[in-house]
Amino acid sequence: MPETVPRIVIVGGGFGGLAAAKALRKTDARVVLVDRQNHHLFQPLLYQVATSELTPGQIGSPIRGILGRHRNTTVLMGEVTGVDSDRRCVFFDSVDREGVALDYDYLILATGASHSYFGHDEFAQFAPGLKSLADAVSIRNRILFAFEQAETEEDPRRHRDLLTFVLVGAGPTGVEMAAALAVLVRTTLSSEFRRVDPASARIVLIDMGQRVLGPFAESLSAAARSRLEKLGVEVRLGHGVDHIDADGVIVAGERIVSKTVIWTAGVAPSPAGKWLRSETDRAGRVRVRPDLSVPGHPEIFVVGDTASLDQDGHPLAGVAQVAMQQGRHAALVIGRRIKGGPAPHPFRYFDKGTMAVVGKGFAVLQSGRLHLSGLLAWMAWAAVHLEFLATSSLRVSVFVQWVWMYLTGQRGSRLIVNHHGSVAGHTRVPSSSEHPSSSEHPSMSAR
């Protein structure tokens, strides 16, 4: 394409960035998408990789492959480190170079969020969060390791501690993960161990709030809690964790000994606000105008988890649908400007509803006045998640795997990958920083 055609740089190939790139396919522009990963990740199913239901390849897809037929689009792998809004360029570190400059006429920042330990970053080394494929594989390793270690442990008094799993945060991720873990230990693993009984594993879900799934209606929170308890999950509400270390957690003055603590609580937005030096909300998300552009910079748009916009007096939630609709809207605004057409209406989020799955065949669904829990909600959950996977091959593969697992209990992958930390009788749990793919994800060490 000639150099005179405007260049649109999109940073981030997640839900928001990818939706924008797809919507710009027919626009007379050179689109460049930069992501630090080579793949788009379907984060809502990360917990299924962490609990061995699906393989990493079933929820991630190369961005280059997804956009391969978009003739106006170039995909670059690199970590963006800053934006010079006066010079209109972004800087990124590529595989072998630092600070590569990339000019833009329009910029869409869709860099998502990472974990927040609410000022206790020291918890990160003991309680990994779930945000990337590397995180999910690392957590899967930890869970499977715990069972292997318990099976080889001669002292039965230690079995209980090894098989205690603590999840901190009872939002959708914590609830889905706790329920999936309960199903894993009580079905697939239950008959395979001889010295320990996997079904005796203790799964503790902790939250400082008064109910699980806080953003849902109270009746759905209660249904989810009751389902969790039926699955054997110990739900402890009303107190956050005071401390996390190598021996477990302290909550309300009580120590819960555990070798596997998983952080499913807060998220923090990407540093896009710092790059732009623009106004942010309390969480650090960039405040955007109703057309999703940044105040004072009509050529820069911020979408998804890293943007802050109120609708009907409430901030929009950090969910995939918001990111996708915003990505498409930013593309529409830019496309109209390039064509010289009228500006579209301000962005308005169309809420199709929220869902969370609680183990096999049970979900809660909230859409307007419709509140549903049970099998029907689970079927809706399954259909929606299949629909939003990035490619048809993933849809087929996940569908087949779900049916297979539903019927047989057999899982996608129960491999402990990269357990080279086994040293002279001491089985060391590999941290995410030891995982080979962590080098693709430089921010992981900061979590």
Residues that bind ligand FAD (CB under 6 A): 11-17, 34-37, 43-44, 46, 79-80, 110-112, 130-131, 172-173, 270, 304-306, 318-321, 323
Is the Cβ of residue 51 or residue 149 nearer to ligand FAD in the bound state? 51
Q: How far is the CB of 150 from ligand FAD (least distance, A)?
A: 26
CA dist., res. 300 & res. 108, Å (int): 6
Q: How far is the CB of 275 from ligand FAD (least distance, A)?
A: 9
Q: How far is the CB of 182 from ligand FAD (least distance, A)?
A: 17
Is the Cβ of residue 39 or residue 225 nearer to ligand FAD in the bound state? 39
Among residues 3, 79, 151, 176, the one annotated as catalytic is 176
Is the Cβ of residue 323 or residue 444 nearer to ligand FAD in the bound state? 323
Q: How many CB atoms lie within 10 A of CB 401?
A: 19
Q: How far is the CB of 422 from ligand FAD (least distance, A)?
A: 29
Note if 176 is an active site residue: yes
Tokens of 438: 């962590």
The answer to whether 236 touches 268, Cβ cutoff 8 Å, is no
Q: How far is the CB of 44 from ligand FAD (least distance, A)?
A: 3
Q: How far is the CB of 268 from ligand FAD (least distance, A)?
A: 12
Q: How far is the CB of 34 from ligand FAD (least distance, A)?
A: 5
Is the Cβ of residue 80 or residue 276 nearer to ligand FAD in the bound state? 80
Contacts of 425-434 with C-beta under 8 Å, sequence gap 24+, read: 427/145, 427/148, 427/149, 427/152, 429/141, 429/142, 429/145, 429/146, 429/259, 430/138, 430/141, 430/142, 430/145, 431/125, 431/128, 431/138, 432/128, 432/134, 432/135, 432/138
- In 3D space, the residue among 289, 262, 411, 403 whose CA is nearest the CA of residue 343 turns out to be 289
* Opening angle at CA 382, ends 379 and 388, nearest 5: 140
CA dist., res. 35 & res. 78, Å (int): 6
Backbone conformation region of residue 169, classed left if phi is above 0, alpha if psi is from -120 to 50, else beta: left
Is the Cβ of residue 42 or residue 126 nearer to ligand FAD in the bound state? 42
Is the Cβ of residue 154 or residue 387 nearer to ligand FAD in the bound state? 387
CA dist., res. 102 & res. 34, Å (int): 10
CA dist., res. 421 & res. 328, Å (int): 45
Q: What b/e string do you get for 76-102 counting C-beta neighbours within 10 Å, with b at 16 or more?
A: bbbbbeebebeebbbbbeeeeeeebeb
CA dist., res. 269 & res. 114, Å (int): 6
Q: How far apart are the first and last CA of the chain?
A: 41
Q: How far is the CB of 239 from ligand FAD (least distance, A)?
A: 23
Residues 6+ apart with CB under 8 A from 120: 244
Is the Cβ of residue 131 or residue 411 nearer to ligand FAD in the bound state? 131
CA dist., res. 447 & res. 443, Å (int): 7
Q: What is the DSSP string of 125-140?
A: TTS-B--SHHHHHHHH
Is the Cβ of residue 16 or residue 248 nearer to ligand FAD in the bound state? 16
Shortest-Cβ-distance residue relative to ligand FAD: 14
User: So which residues are the catalytic ones?
Assistant: 176
